[in-house]
Amino acid sequence: MDFLFSGGSYLYTSFWLSLWSILPLLSHLSLLFYFSIFNFLSTTIMILGICL
């Protein structure tokens, strides 16, 4: 019984650790995504401004 409990807590801890390691990566990716969209929009507006 003790062994099962320790195994479960180990899985629980590793799950949370993996979640915490993935979260910054996700936020970093979303930042890159938003930055690329902003970059694309500003470039498009600049090109339109030059053409007009």
Q: Determine the pLDDT at residue 43.
A: 92
**% helix / strand / coil in the chain, to the nearest 5?**
95, 0, 5
Model pLDDT for residues 5-35, shown as the tens digit of each residue: 666 777 788 888 888 888 888 888 888 899 9
Q: Determine the pLDDT at residue 25.
A: 84
pTM for this predicted structure: 0.47
Q: Domain spans of the chain?
A: 23-52
Q: Determine the pLDDT at residue 1.
A: 47
Model confidence band, residue 2 (pLDDT cutoffs 50, 70, 90): low
Q: Determine the pLDDT at residue 14.
A: 85
Cα–Cα distance between 4 and 11 in angstroms, integer? 11
